[in-house]
Structure formats: C-alpha cells, structure tokens
Structure 1
Amino acid sequence: QQSKVDGQIRSYYFSRLYGTPAIPNQNAFALGGILNVRTAPFLGGLGLGVSFFTANSLGTHGADLATVDPTLMGLNPAINALGQAYVQFQQPWILVRAGDQIINTPWMQSADARMLPATYQGLYLDVTPVRNLHFYGVRVFRWKSRTSSDYYKDNLYYQTGYDGDPLYGGLATIPNTEPQANGTLAFGSSYALGGAKVQAWYYDFYRFANMFYGDASYTLKTSSGFSPFIGAQYVREWLGNNAFSQFNAPLLGYNGSVDSTAYGIQVGLNFPGGNLSWAYNAISPHAGSVGDGSIISPYTVGYAFDPLYTTSMTRGLVELGPGDAWKVKATYNAFGKAVLIMAAFARYHTYLHGSGNDTYLDITYFPKGSLKGLSIRDRVEVNNGGQYLAPNNRSFIYNRVMLTYQF
C-alpha cells in the first residue's frame, strides 16, 4: 500500500520566429510523458524507483528538418528511455540514492522545461542532523540530456552527436574528437530559520571548472500579507589547465584559464496572491580567461536554467558572457488560483554581444473538478538585440504551448 505509481502526460508545441530569411522559422510538436514507480520501503528504509520517459513527434517533423525546433525532443521521431532506475536508503535524518536519478541543485538540475527532464547517473546524499539543516554530497558519472535516450559522458559544451548523443540546446565548443567528460563532484549545505534562508555549494566540474556558489535571502513576514524580501548571490570559478585550453576550444572566442566572478542582488515584495521583484546580476570580464570571464556551467548553459536572478526563458548572462543585467518580474494568482500570470522584462549589457532586452509573459490555467491535475500553459518571450540568438540584432520570438496532466 505504500508503493507509489504516478506521472505526467505532456503535449507541447513550440515555435521559434527569427524575423530574418537567413534563419528559417522553426516549430515542433510532441506527445509523451513520464511514468514513475517507487516501491514501499523495506529492510529498514531501502527502496527502489524507476521512471519511464517517452516522447513522440507523431510524424510532425516533416521532410525539412531545418524547420524543426530540435530542443523540444531532438530530431529523432521518438525518445523512449529508462530515465530513472535507482536504489535508495531513507530515514528521517538521511537519504542515500544510487543510480539514474533526477538531481536538483543550483548548477546541476533537471531543467524540466521540455518534454523530458535531464537526469544523472551517480550518487546523491542528503543528511539532516537537525531540522532545516541539510548537508549534501553528489558524485555524477554520466548524464542524460533532455533530448537523449541514454546516458553519456559529455555535457552541454560538447557538440551534437558526440559519442552518438543527440544532444541539443547547449553551447557547443568541444570537438567531437576529444576525450569524454569525467562528471562532477559537489558538496553543499543549506539552512532555513524563520524568514532567512542560506545555501553554499562547491562544484568540481572535472576538467572544466571549480565553482563556489552561495546565496542568502530574508523575508520579513508580516500579519498584513505584504512581506518584503531581499536576496544576494555570489559565484567564483577557477581552473588553470582546463578542457577548453587543452582542446583548443575557445568559448565565445576567448581561451585561457577559467577565471570568473559574478554576483547578484534581488529585492521584492510578497503580497496577497503574488509578488513583485527587481534583480541585478553582473559577471566581471577577466582578460586571458575562457569566455573572457564567462561562467562555466556544463549542465545549464544554453538551457537558460541557472540560478542567476536575471536569467530569462531563453538566455541569460551564462550564455551571453561578461556584463550586467537587471530584471523586473511580477507573479499573480487570479480567479481563486485557477490562473497563474507571470510577466517579466530583462535588460542586458554585455561585452561580447552588445545590449538587448527580453519581454516575457506566462499564463497557466488550472481547471477544477474532474479536470483537476490538468494545466494549460502558454509562455512567450520576445528577445531584442544581441547576437546570441539571431544575426543583425533582429527580434526573436519564442512561443511555448504546454499541456500537462498529472496523475
């Protein structure tokens, strides 16, 4: 009776409008989902879990693959994968999991904004000696991207097709002839007390970068329902003999040692039904370094799924390189939480890609009654300026219609 079976059915339609004959417009449709099976605990806390992932274009790709958005599920007509297969031991104060699994940490996560999430092959540890205090340990050997059907020793800096991996959506720079990646080792800790939250992480992206990341936030909770909050974050990366320099694979035109420094601040207000915030991030340029000081993020670059406050739906400073950005964001639950509305505007000033801005609107409808579990979501973002997504500073429009049913 304690075993669990659940999952999701997903139907997504994505369209990319580039506004220039030099790049054909792209779209993609897929139907699929996720089925999770978890056993009841036995032998004092042991358990098993498996997840089956599937996505199918239903023959909608057509003959001209240049007009297909490959980031939804790749260019293959179907993906069928055993996305998770793990054994775990769990008690109130400890969780140990080994195998293929979803891992969510600030710079290594599921990036679940496509048909299928990214998953990782390795070990995960979460120790909670006292309430709200966590110590984490992670060792990843391989990963499965959002468009892959198997696990590979690569990351988002490798080219599509590396070792047969149909990897899409990254920022390719490592040639397909070069050795495999060696995975990642990470340690972290988090603590929450009242309205205060803090976390700190160390990542060793083997041969790519060493990273320290920390963030802290505080929310002043009031009886009126209007609660101001503030947050700050910091990133520091370093590594002399790295994969980019070893393989003569410059990032954004610059090579050398890994040397990156970034920080951010965020202020805002929670109010009944929603919140409003303003955020700022900056990455300092470093002469003689990879990407002129860019943040090296092997599992989020190109996915725009990093924890920086100003990252938009399609890009952020991790993709654009050194510079600064600010972002205004508002969220509101309407009609008794049946509709969730999000809107944002971000402005980027970068050294390598000039200036640009992103305008974002996100509306989700949650039906009630017999349709509980269904969500209908439309996300649209308009990017202006910058050379990252389209040449000649043209606008880029990305629309994502996402239907999801959770059971």
Structure 2
Amino acid sequence: MKMIQRFGAALAMLLMVATSFASAATQDTPTTKKIVAQESASKKPVSRFSYKGYVRSYYFTRQNASATQKGPNQAAWNTGISLHGEYNAGGGFTLGATYFYANPLNGNCSQASNYQPSPGNACIPAPPGIAADNTLPDFQMSTLYEAYVKYQGHGFGATLGNQVFNSPWANSSDSRLKPAAFQGGDVTYKLNKNWNLEGAVFSKFEGRAQSAFDNSTLLTGYYVDAPSLGSEGNIFNPNGKNNAMPNSGFGYAKVGYGAKNLSADLYLYGFNNIATLTWFDAKYSLPGFMAKYKPFVAVQAGREQDTGNALIGKIRAAGYGVQAGLSLTKNVDFTVGYNNVPAKNDTVVLPAGVSCSAGHTLVGAGTSAATSIPYLLAANGFSCVSNGAAGTTTLYYGGFASPYTDSYATDPFFTTSMTQGMVDRRTYGQGVKFALFFNSTNKRFHAILSRALYADGASAVGLTPTQETDLDAFYYLNKVAKGAYHGWLVRDRYGERTEQFGGLPLFKYNRVQVEYDF
C-alpha cells in the first residue's frame, strides 16, 4: 500500500510540474500572426500518456482419473481485466503501472486465503464434485503488479519497482490470467551494436495466481498454483509442511552478443540461500544456398550448485541441450530438440526411521520421508539404492532447481512441454521433443503441434518413460498488422500425457482462452 501511495504521489507531482512548465511556456510565447505559427498551432499535440490492456477469460479442464490413476478431475473458469498505463515524463523517464482484477464465474471462491494453508479449506467449486484447478486460479484477484520508474537513453536502460521481467530462469510465465512479476531493479547497457550487458536484483516475487509480493519462491513457499511445500512430498523442508522458508530473492547478470547469423548469451543467477546457476545459450543461422529454408542450430548448457543455507538441500546439476530447425514451406517450420542431465549419487546414512525400499523409494514415518533428506530429489520418487548390511544408502539426484518457474513449465529447456518437463520434475535423465509450427499468410491463424519423449531416472533406480503430445492454436478475429494487436483472439491448448505402456492417457489437459486486446 505504501508503494502504491508513493507511486501516486510521484505521478501527481510530475503531472503538476509538467503542467506548470507547459503553462509557463504558453505565457512566455508572444502572440503572432505569421502563417508558420498558425500551421504549427494546428498540429495535433502528442500525448504523454499511453495505455493498453486486455480482458481475458479462461476455462480449464484436467482429466486426472484413468485406468491407472484415481485422482479427482479438475475444472475452473475465471475472467480478468488488465489495465496498463505509462506517462512519459521527459528526459528519457517514464512512469508505468499495471492493475489486474479477476472474478470467477463458476463458484463462490472469492479469496485466495480459502486455499491456504490447507486445500481442505477450499470453497465449493462449480460444477460440484469436480475439484478446483488452482493454477488458473478460480478465486478473486486484485493486484497492482506493476508500478515502476523507467529510464532509457544513451544506450542505458533501467527499471525500478514492481515489474514484469523476462530471462531464461525467471520470467513472466504468462500462461494463465496474469503474468508473474518481480520487485526490484533491472539495468541494461548496450556497449556497441553487438555486445550488451544486463544486471538485476529482485527481492520479492508475485506468482501468476497471487495478488501480493512476498519473499519466497515456488520451491520455498506455499503457492496454490504450484505443487510446492503444501503438497509436494519430496522437497526438503526442515520447517515442516506448509511452513514457508523465506529468502531474499535473487541477483542476475548477463553478457549478450548478437550478429547477423549468431546470437549468444551467458547468464549468472544467484538464488538467495538456494543455489547459484550459470547458463549459456547460442543460436546460429546457416547462411549460403540453404538460407531460404532458414536452417538453424542452437545449443544450451548450464551448471547449478546449492549456496548459503541450502534451503532445499544439496543441489549438483549439470546439463546441456541441442536444437535444430528449418522452414519446410513458407508457412510451416520444424524443430527437434534434445536435453541431457546426468545423474549424481552420494553414499549416505539415512535418518532414523527412514529407509530405502526394494522399489528404490524412500519410506518412513510422516507425510514423506524425502522431506527429511537434505537433497533436491526427483519428483518421480525413485532416488535410492540400499547397500544392505553396510547400513548405508546410495542417493541419486542431479536435477535442476528453478525457484521461479518450477511447476509453471516455462524453463528454458528445449524439451519442456505444455504440462511438464525435466526441470519441473527436478529429475536427471534425457528427453527429445519434435515440433511443427504453422502460421497462415495473413498471420491470423497459427498453431504448434509437438511430441516429447522423456526417460527420467537412471538404470540403478529405474527409468520413468513418459510422452506428451500438445496442440496450441491461435485465431485472431481482427486483422493482424505491425505493432500491438487490437481486437479479439481465441486460443485453445490441448495436451495429453502417457506412460510407455499405459492404455488410456494418464492425464488430459485443455485450456480455452478468449481475449480482447485494446
């Protein structure tokens, strides 16, 4: 609230100052009858204020029950409006803010607190008998998720305040009603036409189903739209279930290079008391006689290690990926991507009351034995080998921790799909993904069809093969021109996930989105 008041006071002050300058300029300018002056006066003044926004309505359904799964099916419907405004204060400075409000149309879910700290306190969804899909979410929201001061000039840029921020491992994740946002500052500098630098520090985070910023993450807090501490049984948490572990956000640095056919970026993340992550990506477009097919090759690689208090346990991750693509026709593109994350293992003595089963899962008293093990373990549960009489256990781990994209399926891996990926499952293993992209000549219809195959785990503890098929289709009801789109659009995303020998799909997911942009 104090930030909102300060933002309002600053905006009012700038408006008064601008008005005073404008008034003074008008009084000091003598009246003239010159033709040139008359022509100048007839020009339409340029407004310093601009605005945009959208109204977005979503309907989600999840089929969780099938031949081998007995979980409840889920559904949710919600509609929200986003209003964004910017004021050009002159001298390269801009003030901006974005307000978002949503109200569900399918039940009496009016407060996010109804879902915290226990899902058992949730309000009654509609239709009855179908569990709520909290990822939408299906409760009322009201938030000023952007309120910032921005400067741009002389190759230098800076944004301070609440803002939408985008980078590979911390981004807007805008696949629901509103994007995620961050509180802090971001600075960029363009060294020359090829090289650029960026640095940022963010202390708080607002998830895509939240109406406030807090000093936690998707891996250390309780979020209704992510299987974090409230429901995930394998995240180490010395504070106990539903007790968040606060941290101070993250720092970020980037060095980027861009040329005609090559782009490359090196990133460094410091997730406070969780991990440090180094990430590299590059893309090269092949020139020559094949250029008309727009062929390219892209690579990515990274390393991550726990740091500070290691809030979620020991992390030792390393992985790489490669992707290739080309245009099959004027309207159709094709890509194939691959990721590999090798497994790590340690020999440990398990805590009292915890043991490794013959099925390579940790068992013991409490909600989950894994929450007492100070390691980031894979979500599939297969993570140990008992060494028998030796009294020790070999733990397998090695997946990446992604505090600001976990469960959102918005990490940078080439093989991440609409509903899952190796990073979301915090697993080691490998995956491959094929994708076809279609874009109509008039740009009003485009679709993405993809198929991904994953082999999580290692031979010592067992493999968990899964596959996912997704279809993502857009249709714009109005003409698509250069610049921001204005008008109606309809989007539908369908995905289904199966195991290697499963009959029916274990999971079906459909998202219908109707939106008006202005």
Fold shared by both chains (TM-score > 0.5): yes
The answer for the alignment partner of 2:351 in structure 1 is: none
Residues 137-177 of structure 1, C-alpha deviations (whole Å, 9 max, x = no match): 110100100111000111111353xxxxx542244334443
The residue type paired with residue 471 of structure 2 is L
Q: SS at the partner of 1:287? A: strand
Evaluate the alpha carbon distance shift between residue 179 and residue 346 of structure 1 in structure 2; reply closer, same or farther with a 3 A threshold.
closer
The answer for the alignment partner of 2:387 in structure 1 is: none
The answer for the alignment partner of 1:266 in structure 2 is: 323
Evaluate the alpha carbon distance shift between residue 225 and residue 268 of structure 1 in structure 2; reply closer, same or farther with a 3 A threshold.
same
Evaluate the alpha carbon distance shift between residue 15 and residue 216 of structure 1 in structure 2; reply closer, same or farther with a 3 A threshold.
same
**Counterparts in 2 of 1:7-406, with a 5 A limit?**
7-20=53-66, 22-42=70-90, 44-60=91-107, 61-62=125-126, 64=128, 67-73=131-137, 75-76=138-139, 78-160=140-222, 167-172=224-229, 173=235, 174=237, 175-221=241-287, 225-239=292-306, 241-245=309-313, 257-270=314-327, 271-288=329-346, 290-291=376-377, 292-320=397-425, 321-334=427-440, 336-351=442-457, 354-369=464-479, 372-385=486-499, 395-406=506-517
Would you say the 8 A contact 1:366–1:372 is kept in 2? no
Find the aligned partners of 1:221 and 1:273 in 2 and give their Cα distance.
Answer: 20
Would you say the 8 A contact 2:324–2:337 is kept in 1? yes
The residue type paired with residue 244 of structure 1 is I
Q: SS at the partner of 2:434? A: strand
| Most deviating of 267-276 and 373-382 | 267-276
Residues 203-245 of structure 1, C-alpha deviations (whole Å, 9 max, x = no match): 0001111000000011125686311100000010012551123
Find the aligned partners of 1:149 and 1:32 in 2 and give their Cα distance.
Answer: 13
Q: SS at the partner of 1:27? A: strand
Q: 1:55 Cα deviation (Å)?
A: 1.5
Find the aligned partners of 1:63 and 1:51 in 2 and give their Cα distance.
Answer: 32
Would you say the 8 A contact 2:220–2:246 is kept in 1? no
Would you say the 8 A contact 1:159–1:167 is kept in 2? no
Q: 1:28 Cα deviation (Å)?
A: 0.7
Would you say the 8 A contact 1:334–1:341 is kept in 2? no
Would you say the 8 A contact 2:216–2:245 is kept in 1? no
The answer for the alignment partner of 1:163 in structure 2 is: none
Q: SS at the partner of 1:225? A: helix
Evaluate the alpha carbon distance shift between residue 244 and residue 152 of structure 1 in structure 2; reply closer, same or farther with a 3 A threshold.
same
Would you say the 8 A contact 1:107–1:300 is kept in 2? yes
Would you say the 8 A contact 1:170–1:303 is kept in 2? no
Q: 1:89 Cα deviation (Å)?
A: 1.5
Gaps of 5+ in 2: 1-46, 108-124, 230-234, 347-374, 378-396
Find the aligned partners of 2:441 and 2:187 in 1 and give their Cα distance.
Answer: 41
The residue type paired with residue 402 of structure 2 is S
Residues 374-402 of structure 1, C-alpha deviations (whole Å, 9 max, x = no match): 2111110110028xxxx999520000111
Would you say the 8 A contact 2:203–2:249 is kept in 1? yes
The residue type paired with residue 412 of structure 2 is P
Q: State TM-score, norm by structure 1.
A: 0.89
Q: 1:24 Cα deviation (Å)?
A: 1.2
Find the aligned partners of 1:138 and 1:167 in 2 and give their Cα distance.
Answer: 27
Find the aligned partners of 1:235 and 1:66 in 2 and give their Cα distance.
Answer: 41
Find the aligned partners of 1:210 and 1:63 in 2 and give their Cα distance.
Answer: 44
Q: State TM-score, norm by structure 2.
A: 0.70
Find the aligned partners of 1:86 and 1:381 in 2 and give their Cα distance.
Answer: 37
**Higher strand content, 1 or 2:** 1
The answer for the alignment partner of 2:17 in structure 1 is: none
Q: 1:286 Cα deviation (Å)?
A: 1.0
Q: 1:306 Cα deviation (Å)?
A: 0.3
Evaluate the alpha carbon distance shift between residue 66 and residue 168 of structure 1 in structure 2; reply closer, same or farther with a 3 A threshold.
farther
Would you say the 8 A contact 1:145–1:167 is kept in 2? no
